[in-house]
């Protein structure tokens, strides 16, 4: 098994196991932790490791990790940019914004990683900030709102300037 | 009439999100009062207030609480903060601006329904509000508002936050329970209903953020006092999330029964210059769309929206002006439901995909004669056929868009371009990327 | 009609039946189904009430041995007073309920429900192993829309997924009824299967290619209503409509699962479980799935063999009898737990009365693991009738111990050994050693259905007589807990072979005959399953 949770990670997961009324409830938090420690995505190794640490069947953890969209099933760039494209955001330019930013970042399709390893783009469903449409979320950070194409392109440039992988 | 800051009275104050700021503005006083009240008295006040669930279904809250069986089993109170109905963002505003208001409402409600454990289920994308809530929960626990023997009353209520991970269906209360139990967020068969067998098969109440926050005001003003706003069947105020083609989109609190056009024109500053209103989605993306004509005399309350064949839903109003193509707007909605169908029930799993593919074909200039009627037939067969309401939620916008704006759909199929935007439509400008995924 | 199509409320396989305590009669409810008055026990679901009363109702995901999923949405019914159609599997019958599935409203819903199942289904019936016994095919005949309107691209999913040693998966054919997942969660409790992803991208599978490898895995093939899960052992070997069915009992262990053998003139092709409330519920194990291979011609001893020469079996038996009768204690009988009560009665009677020996030995094939139990169905005693044999040995006061045999062979006190050997040789790990041991006898008579190179290579006074298998004879097996179950002759694979009863008759002096004119039962059968059962008279 090539992925191992850090000692802190194991402690965190074990704590989550007793946090809720049943230990299964820890799966989502554990997957977030595994994803974070695995460079942003949930590889099969992550599921296997969590199954071992949590003593929960891997098939059950895999069901959860593939059901929820916030677990990435393939590698992502340092900045996983998720642009809302539902309804209001769709009407107000979310889709066009995504495509423009992807072009600037050098991403060809949704989900792929830009050659510099910095960017992955996905169109996502309503993020609950329709009054600031179009808007996006990077990784799991607070929202970046009230965008237009110019601001979106500038955001890509700023992130690129901020730098590559640590 | 105008905006009423009843729940949102102090939302403009930055310190209101902290315990100190909340207390300085009367916070947790109602909890102290409530803990001295008889539980049944609280339930009676909530019943008397006429408060209806603010998450979308509009079910009377006090009645829901009354469904709990008296069987001595542990009970749970869950707060539905999964807010993911497209167009809705008022719960996020409430959690960001007044986390303690929700906590206070939850502790009072948990006491009233006899729950010793309460969870806030918040959608995974809401990391910002989640962090604010976690801080607030810590503050409240340290101050003795959460935990054992709250304020010396002998009442114990634990409260914790549970983070989702991206699934609209977890806003459905049994989907939420499945997710909280650590499984895929797939809705459960009813019966049994959550009040009888919910979280971990124990009696469970699931209420929306706004519903639980309103309980604080109901304790303060009494059920009758709460009724000073709103109509007979739609009591109280409600926070509405308005977005789309208006000057000042945002969240505004108004009494139920408030005229829709006043809300658009006064609270939200009206449409953009030179634009005409074409349609309004009044209650989140699953609410049937209203034409401009239907909006003229519409009021924001459960009964008027129902009379118009739509619904108040979560109070998410999306304004669409005459520069938008209804086929294109519907395409983002059908994509949403296809993406979010949990996949359990066949009519929803297959129907949502089928519908999206037909709309996709139409927007890409590959629509076929008969597609409009086929869309109506498929949608009709998805209604009332499944475990939860997602299938209906996916069908209703299709039925209403296609019925009320049929000419736009037929034009698109015939001319292979938008009646409103011609070929200047996303699907045709980005044919390779615009595909369904 | 096989018993496993009887739907029942009782628990699932592996649970011991609780002794019925004298309780008051269960409360009965009166209801009306499609205009017919019915009476059912309180707690009965509508779908169970339909089946109990012979009414047909469409369904995929509901299975009486699994929890209710309620996801296929096919078992729609209209309940008087309820404007919304309800699913019959998750709705209990109430007193006075008036319910139908014949109204236009229900028919329309079922029609579309089926169509939703089919829009992304590949419709590759001509190359699908399930064709002929497929829930989609069968139910489409009765409830189909016959007017497909799907003109969009279908969802692409994984094909020919090697799930494990016995099962192959085609996820495009899968209708996501979740029966297989519920099976591995609830029955085998092995949790290998899951439904990954969501919406119409959802697929069943195992995590990261981990094999579906539990001893009950083939049950998921049985309960799969479509061709998504197929049996590696069976797939592409026969079209099911060329097979006949024979209800029988599994001889793979002492549980005695009720089974069906599917066969035609080319042999037996597969075994499936039949429902039995007290024995096996709805299931059987994978070990039992192979309990047909030794019956097919290629595994069989086709003729008798006496001192290295082939001979007509009946003649060989007759000649052997002459040599044995009156032999007294010089003759020993070695008996396995593989035969029927009737055969034991004949053989033990012959030993005691005609041969006059008390040397009857019970060959226990795996004494170390004989008490083992996997918690579900499979028992360590890999014989169908150990209990019947032991009862008969006890009542005939024949209780010789194995060391006496070894001693007798060494000392020469025993010169002749007659062995009722294993029918299912694969379950006798000590077979080789026992043949070596027993071939020390001056005269060895070995009765057995299957061929065995080691036996055929023995020199000296060795007689091999071919026996019938459990599929070819009538008889009774007593399972581990004392339930007596009968098998019937269903087919004839080696017509010249004999049952032990027939061997004994011949040894007693009955006239030998040529191979009986026992013609193979050739023919085209009709495959019945839960879906065809409810199809009515189409």
Every domain of chain B with CATH number 3.40.50.11540 lies at 14-226
- Chain mean position to CA B154: 34
């199942």: which residue's tokens?
A: C117
Contacts of residue B116, Cβ cutoff 8 Å, sequence gap at least 6: B74, B75, B110, B156, B157, B158
Lowest-pLDDT range of A152-161, B357-366, C14-23, C491-500: C14-23
Do A88 and A155 lie in a common domain?
A: yes
CATH architecture of C301-508: 3-Layer(aba) Sandwich (3.40)
Model pTM score: 0.93
Angle at B194 between CA B173 and CA B97, to 5 degrees: 45
Asked if A62 is an interface residue toward chain C (Cβ–Cβ < 8 A), one would say: yes
Subunits touching B (CB < 8 Å, at least 3 pairs)? A, C
Considering the segment(s) C1-11+26-118 as one domain, its CATH architecture is: Roll (3.10)
Q: Is B49 helix (H, G, I), strand (E, B) or coil?
A: helix
Q: How many CB pairs under 8 A join A and B?
A: 162
With H, G, I as helix, E, B as strand and everything else as coil, classify residue C148.
Answer: coil
* Helices then strands, each counted (H, E), chain B: 18, 11
Q: How far is CA C36 from CA C55, C217, C501, in A?
A: 10, 40, 51
Nearest to C288 by CA among C249, C252, C259, C234: C252
What φ, ψ does residue C420 adopt, rounded to 5°?
-90, 90
Beta-carbon contacts of residue C231 (< 8 Å; ≥ 6 apart):
C129, C166, C167, C168, C218, C221, C270, C289
Q: Report the pLDDT value the prediction gives residue C25, as an integer from 0 to 100.
A: 75
Query: Cβ–Cβ of A59/C192 closer than 8 Å?
Result: yes
As for how many domains chain A has, the answer is 2
Chain A residues within 8 A of C196 when measuring between CB atoms = 62-63, 66-67
> Do residues C171 and C204 lie in contact, with contact meaning Cβ atoms separated by under 8 Å?
yes
Contacts of A67 in chain B (CB under 8 A): 167, 184-185, 342
pLDDT band at A18 (very low <50, low <70, confident <90, very high): very high
Q: Which residues make beta-bridge pairs with B391?
A: none
A112 and chain B in contact, CB less than 8 A: no
User: Is B385 within 8 Å of C71 when comparing Cβ atoms?
Assistant: no
Q: Which two tokens stand for residue C201?
A: 């991208």
Q: Report the CATH number of the B326-429 domain.
A: 1.20.1440.230
pLDDT for the residue C531: 62
A55 lies in the same domain as A112: no
Tell me the torsion sign for CA atoms C241, C243, C244, C250: negative
Percentage above 70 pLDDT, chain B: 98
Q: Is B188 helix (H, G, I), strand (E, B) or coil?
A: coil
* A83/B320 Cα distance (integer angstroms): 21
Please state the φ and ψ torsions of residue C45, each to the nearest 5 degrees. -80, 165
Q: Which residues of C touch B361 (CB under 8 A)?
A: 152
Q: CB distance B352–C200 less than 8 Å?
A: yes
* Cα B302 to Cα B286: distance, rounded to the nearest angstrom: 15
pLDDT at B292 (0 to 100):
97
Where in the sequence of chain B do the CATH 1.20.1440.230 domains occur? 326-429
Cα distance from C530 to chain A (closest Cα, Å)? 29
Predicted pLDDT of residue C7: 33
B284's tokens: 């989140």
Find, in chain A, the residue whose alpha carbon is nearest to that of C206: A59
In a domain, A2, yes or no: no
Which residues lie closer than 8 Å to C246 by C-beta, 6 or more apart?
C260, C261, C262, C263, C471, C488, C490, C491
What gap in Å lies between CA C296 and CA A9, rounded to an integer? 58
Residue A22 in contact with partner chain C when CB distance is under 8 A: no
Q: Does C458 touch chain B (CB under 8 A)?
A: no
**What is the CATH architecture assignment of B14-226?**
3-Layer(aba) Sandwich (3.40)
Q: Among positive and negative, which fits the CA dihedral C40, C45, C46, C50? A: negative
Phi/psi-derived region of residue C210, left when phi > 0, alpha when psi is between -120 and 50, beta in every other case: beta
User: Do A108 and A154 share a domain, yes or no?
Assistant: yes
Is A59's CB within 8 Å of C197's CB?
no
> Is C90 in Cβ contact with B343 (below 8 Å)?
no
Query: What's the token pair of residue B27?
Result: 């916070």
Sign of CA dihedral C403, C406, C411, C414: positive
Q: Residue A60: its chain B contacts at CB < 8 A? A: 183
**At residue B146, does pLDDT exceed 90?**
yes
Whether the CB of C116 is below 8 Å from some CB of chain B: the reply is yes
- In the predicted model, what is the mean pLDDT of residues B30-51? 97
Output Rg (C-alpha) for chain A, integer angstroms: 17
Residue C210: list chain A partners with CB under 8 A: 58-59
CATH 3.10.20.600 positions along chain B are 237-321
**Is A83 in the same domain as A150?**
yes
DSSP bridge partners of C476: C486
Q: Are residues A84 and A145 in the same domain?
A: yes
Residue that has been written with the tokens 């999923």 in this structure:
C69
Check CB contact of A47 with chain C, cutoff 8 Å. yes
β-pairing, C36-41 with C76-79? unpaired
Single residue among A17, A38, A67 that ends a domain in this structure: A67
A93/A157 same-domain check: yes
For residue B119, what are the β-bridge partners? B78, B160
Q: Which residues of A touch C208 (CB under 8 A)?
A: 44, 47-48, 58, 62
Sort B357 into a burial class: Cβ within 10 Å, 0-12 / 13-18 / 19+. Answer: buried
Taken in order B335, B336, B337, B342, the sign of the CA dihedral is positive
Kindly state whether residues A83 and A135 are assigned to the same domain: yes
Q: Is residue A96 part of a domain?
A: yes
Q: Does A131 touch chain B (CB under 8 A)?
A: yes
pLDDT (0 to 100) of residue C275: 95
Please give, rounded to a whole number of angstroms, the shortest distance from the CA of A113 to a CA of chain C. Answer: 22
Neighbours of C316 (CB within 10 A): 25
Instruction: Check whether residue A91 and residue A40 sit in a common domain.
Output: no
Q: What are C352's two structure tokens?
A: 């005691």
In this structure, are strands C443-448 and C416-420 parallel, antiparallel, or unpaired? parallel
Q: What angle do CA B233, B239, B240 make, to 5 degrees?
A: 95
Does C195 reach chain A within 8 Å, measured CB to CB? yes
Q: Searching chain B, which residue's CA lies closest to the CA of residue A128?
A: B89
Tell me if A63 and C196 make a contact (CB, 8 A cut-off): yes
Residue in chain C closest to B368 (alpha carbons) equals C151
Any B CB within 8 A of C119 CB = yes
Q: What string of pLDDT tens digits covers the 538 residues of chain C?
A: 333 333 333 333 333 334 445 567 789 999 999 999 999 999 999 999 999 999 999 999 999 999 999 999 999 999 999 999 999 999 999 999 999 999 999 999 999 999 999 999 999 999 999 999 999 998 998 889 898 899 999 999 999 999 999 999 999 999 999 999 999 999 999 999 999 999 999 999 999 999 999 999 999 999 999 999 999 999 999 999 999 999 999 999 999 999 999 999 889 999 999 999 999 999 999 999 999 999 999 999 999 999 999 999 999 999 999 999 999 999 999 999 999 999 999 999 999 999 999 999 999 998 899 999 999 999 999 999 999 999 999 998 887 899 999 999 999 999 999 999 999 999 999 999 999 999 999 999 999 999 999 999 999 999 999 999 999 999 999 999 999 999 999 999 999 999 999 999 999 998 876 655 454 443 334 555 566 544 333 3
DSSP state of C187: I
Is residue A73 included in any domain, yes or no?
Answer: no
Å between B334 CA and nearest CA of chain A: 9
Reading the block at residue C191, the tokens are 């949790």
Would an 8 Å CB–CB cutoff place C75 in contact with chain A? Answer: no
B347–C113 CB contact, under 8 Å = yes
Tell me which chain B residue has its CA closest to the CA of residue A129. B89
| Contact: B336, A67; criterion CB under 8 Å | no
Identify whether residues A84 and A62 lie together within a single domain: no
Closest partner residue to A67 (CB to CB) among B125, B126, B184 is B184
Better-predicted residue by pLDDT, B420 or C523: B420
The SS3 of residue B277 is strand
Pick the residue of C154, C200, C204 with the most B CBs within 10 A to test the interface with B by mutation.
C200
How far apart are the CA of A27 and the nearest CA of chain B, in angstroms? 6
Asked if A48 and A120 sit in the same domain, the reply is: no
CA atoms within 13 A on the CB side of B288: 21
- Determine whether the interchain pair B163/A29 forms a contact, defined as Cβ–Cβ distance below 8 Å: yes
The answer to whether A62 contacts C196, with C-beta atoms less than 8 Å apart, is: yes
Q: What would the two tokens of residue B209 be?
A: 């953020």
Point out the domain boundary residue: A67, A97, A116.
Answer: A67
> Could you give the CA distance from residue A118 to residue C382 in angstroms, rounded to a whole number?
62
Q: Which of residues 41-100 of A touch B (CB under 8 A)?
A: 60, 63-64, 67-71, 85-88, 90-92, 95-96, 99
Range of the domain at A103: 79-162
Q: Within an 8 Å CB–CB cutoff, is residue C191 touching chain A? A: yes
Shortest Cα distance, chain B CAs vs residue C284, angstroms: 28
Do the Cβ atoms of A28 and B170 come closer than 8 Å?
no
- Provide the CATH number for the domain around residue A19: 1.10.10
Task: Give the model's pLDDT for residue C528.
Answer: 56
Q: What's the CA gap between B80 and B53, in Å, rounded? A: 11
Q: Rounded CA gap, C408 and C414, in Å?
A: 5
Domain locations in chain C?
A: 1-11+26-118, 301-508
Q: Does C199 touch chain A (CB under 8 A)?
A: no
Residue C417: exposed, middle, or buried by beta-carbon count in 10 A (0-12, 13-18, 19+)? buried
Report DSSP letters for A60-107, one per residue.
HHHHHHHHSTTS-SS---SEEEEEE-SHHHHHTTHHHHHHHHHHHHT-
> Same domain, yes or no, for A42 and A88?
no
Could you tell me if C376 and C187 are in contact, meaning their C-beta atoms sit under 8 angstroms apart? yes
Nearest beta carbon to residue C197 from set A48, A60, A66: A66
Strands of B277-281's sheet in order across: B250-255, B237-244, B316-321, B277-281, B290-291
CATH of the domain at A125: 3.40.30.10
Q: Is the peptide bond before B361 cis (omega within 30 degrees of 0)?
A: no
pLDDT (tens digit, 9 = 90+) per residue, A58-71?
999 999 999 999 99
Give C116→chain B minimum CA distance, Å. Answer: 6
Count of C-beta atoms within a 10 Å radius of residue B154 = 9
C194 and A48: CB-CB below 8 Å?
A: no
Phi/psi at C449 (5° precision): -80, -40
Residue C120 at interface with chain B, using a CB cutoff of 8 Å: yes
What's the CATH fold of domain B237-321? Ubiquitin-like (UB roll) (3.10.20)
Neighbours of chain C (3+ CB pairs under 8 A): A, B
**Per-residue tokens: C392:** 């008969």
CB contact under 8 A, B167 and C76: no
Measured in angstroms, the CA of A69 and the nearest CA of chain B are apart by 5
Residues A50 and A119 occupy one common structural domain: no
Other chains touching A, judged by 3 or more CB pairs under 8 Å: B, C
């Amino acid at each position: 098994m090539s992925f191992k949770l850090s000692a802190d990670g194991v402690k965190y997961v074990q704590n989550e196991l007793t946090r809720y009324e049943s230990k299964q409830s820890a799966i989502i938090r554990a997957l977030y932790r595994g994803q974070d420690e695995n460079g942003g995505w949930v590889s099969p190794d992550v599921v296997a490791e969590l199954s071992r640490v949590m003593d929960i069947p891997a098939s059950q953890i895999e069901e959860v990790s593939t059901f929820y969209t916030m677990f990435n099933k393939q590698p992502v760039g340092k900045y996983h940019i998720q642009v809302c494209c539902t309804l209001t955001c769709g009407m107000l330019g979310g889709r066009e914004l995504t495509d423009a930013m992807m072009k600037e970042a050098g991403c060809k399709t949704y989900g792929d990683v830009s050659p510099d390893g910095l960017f992955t783009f996905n169109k996502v469903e309503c993020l609950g900030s329709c009054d600031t449409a179009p808007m996006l979320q990077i990784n799991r950070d607070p929202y970046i709102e009230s965008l237009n194409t110019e601001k979106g392109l500038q955001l890509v440039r700023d992130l690129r300037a901020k730098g590559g992988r640590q | 009439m105008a905006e009423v800051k009843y729940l949102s009275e102090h939302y403009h104050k930055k310190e209101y999100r902290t315990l100190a700021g909340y207390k300085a503005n009367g916070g947790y006083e109602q909890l102290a009062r409530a803990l001295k009240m008889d539980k049944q008295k609280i339930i009676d006040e909530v019943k008397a207030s006429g408060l209806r669930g603010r998450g979308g279904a509009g079910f009377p809250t006090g009645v829901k609480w009354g469904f709990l069986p008296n069987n001595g089993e542990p009970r749970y109170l869950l707060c539905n903060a999964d807010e993911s109905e497209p167009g809705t963002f008022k719960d996020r505003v409430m959690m960001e601006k007044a986390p303690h208001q929700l906590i206070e409402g939850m502790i009072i409600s948990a006491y009233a329904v006899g729950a010793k454990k309460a969870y806030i289920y918040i959608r995974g994308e809401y990391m910002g509000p989640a962090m604010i809530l976690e801080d607030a929960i810590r503050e409240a626990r340290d101050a003795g508002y959460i935990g054992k023997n709250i304020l010396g009353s002998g009442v114990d209520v634990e409260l914790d936050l549970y983070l989702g991970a991206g699934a609209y269906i977890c806003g459905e209360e049994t989907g939420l329970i499945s997710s909280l139990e650590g499984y895929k967020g797939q809705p459960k068969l009813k019966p049994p209903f959550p009040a009888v067998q919910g979280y971990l098969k124990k009696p469970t109440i699931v209420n929306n953020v706004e519903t639980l926050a309103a309980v604080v005001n109901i304790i303060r003003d009494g059920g009758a006092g709460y009724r000073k706003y709103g109509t007979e069947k739609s009591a109280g105020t409600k926070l509405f999330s308005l977005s789309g083609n208006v000057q000042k989109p945002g969240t505004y609190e108004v009494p139920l029964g408030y005229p829709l056009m006043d809300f658009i024109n006064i609270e939200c500053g009206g449409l953009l210059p030179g634009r005409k209103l074409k349609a309004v989605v009044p209650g989140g993306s699953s609410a049937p769309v209203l034409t401009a004509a239907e909006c003229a005399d519409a009021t924001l309350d459960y009964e008027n929206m129902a009379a118009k064949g739509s619904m108040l839903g979560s109070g998410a109003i999306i304004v669409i002006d005459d520069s938008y193509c209804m086929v294109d707007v519907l395409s983002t909605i059908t994509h949403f439901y296809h993406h979010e169908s949990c996949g359990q029930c066949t009519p929803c799993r297959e129907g949502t995909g089928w519908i999206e593919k037909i709309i996709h074909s139409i927007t890409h200039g590959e629509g076929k004669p008969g597609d409009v009627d086929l869309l109506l037939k498929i949608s009709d067969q998805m209604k009332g056929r499944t475990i939860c309401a997602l299938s209906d939620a996916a069908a209703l916008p299709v039925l209403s868009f296609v019925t009320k704006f049929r000419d736009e759909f037929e034009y698109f199929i015939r001319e292979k371009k938008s009646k409103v935007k011609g070929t200047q439509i996303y699907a045709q400008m980005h044919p390779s990327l615009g595909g369904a995924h | 009609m096989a018993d496993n199509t009887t739907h029942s409320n009782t628990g699932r396989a592996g649970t011991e039946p609780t002794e019925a305590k004298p309780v008051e009669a269960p409360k009965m409810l009166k209801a009306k189904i499609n205009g017919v008055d019915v009476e059912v026990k309180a707690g009965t679901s509508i779908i169970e009430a339909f089946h109990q009363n012979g009414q047909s109702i469409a369904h995929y995901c509901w299975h009486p041995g699994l929890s209710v999923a309620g996801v296929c949405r096919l078992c729609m019914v209209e309940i008087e007073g309820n404007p919304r159609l309800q699913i019959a599997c998750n709705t209990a019958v109430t007193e006075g309920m008036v319910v139908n599935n014949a109204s236009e409203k229900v028919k329309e819903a079922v029609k579309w429900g089926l169509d939703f199942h089919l829009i992304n289904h590949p419709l590759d019936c001509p190359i699908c192993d399930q064709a002929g016994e497929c829930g989609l095919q069968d139910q489409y005949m009765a409830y189909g829309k016959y007017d497909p309107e799907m003109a969009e691209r279908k969802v692409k999913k994984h094909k020919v997924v090697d799930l494990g040693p016995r099962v192959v998966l085609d996820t495009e054919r899968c209708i996501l009824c979740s029966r297989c997942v519920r099976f591995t969660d609830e029955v085998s409790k092995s949790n290998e299967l899951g439904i990954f992803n969501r919406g119409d991208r959802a697929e069943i599978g195992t995590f990261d290619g981990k094999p579906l490898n539990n001893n009950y895995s083939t049950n998921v093939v049985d309960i799969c209503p479509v061709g998504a899960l197929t049996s590696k052992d069976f797939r592409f070997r026969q079209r099911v409509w060329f097979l006949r069915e024979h209800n029988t009992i599994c001889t793979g262990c002492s549980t005695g699962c009720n089974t069906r053998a599917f066969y035609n003139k080319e042999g037996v092709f597969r075994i499936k479980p039949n429902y039995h409330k007290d024995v096996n519920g709805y299931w059987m194990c994978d070990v039992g799935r192979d309990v047909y291979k030794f019956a097919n011609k290629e595994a069989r001893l086709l003729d008798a063999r006496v001192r290295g020469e082939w001979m007509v079996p009946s003649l060989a038996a007759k000649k052997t009898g002459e040599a044995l009768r009156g032999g007294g204690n010089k003759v020993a009988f070695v008996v396995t737990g593989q035969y029927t009560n009737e055969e034991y009665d004949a053989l033990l009677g012959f030993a005691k009365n005609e041969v006059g020996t008390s040397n009857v030995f019970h060959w226990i094939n795996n004494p170390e693991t004989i008490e083992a139990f996997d918690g579900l169905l499979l028992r360590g005693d890999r014989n169908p009738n150990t209990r019947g044999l032991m009862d008969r040995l006890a009542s005939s006061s024949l209780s010789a111990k194995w060391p006496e045999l070894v001693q007798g062979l060494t000392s020469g006190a025993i010169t002749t050994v007659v062995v009722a050997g294993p029918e299912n040789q694969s379950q006798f790990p000590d077979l080789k050693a026992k043949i070596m041991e027993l071939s020390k006898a001056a005269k060895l008579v070995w009765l057995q259905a299957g061929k065995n190179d080691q036996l055929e290579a023995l020199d000296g006074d060795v007689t091999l007589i071919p026996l019938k298998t459990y599929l070819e004879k009538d008889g009774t097996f007593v399972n581990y807990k004392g339930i007596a179950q009968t098998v019937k002759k269903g087919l004839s694979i080696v017509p010249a072979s004999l049952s032990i009863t027939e061997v004994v008759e011949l040894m007693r002096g009955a006239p030998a005959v040529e191979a009986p004119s026992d013609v193979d039962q050739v023919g085209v059968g009709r495959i019945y399953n839960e879906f065809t059962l409810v199809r009515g008279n189409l």
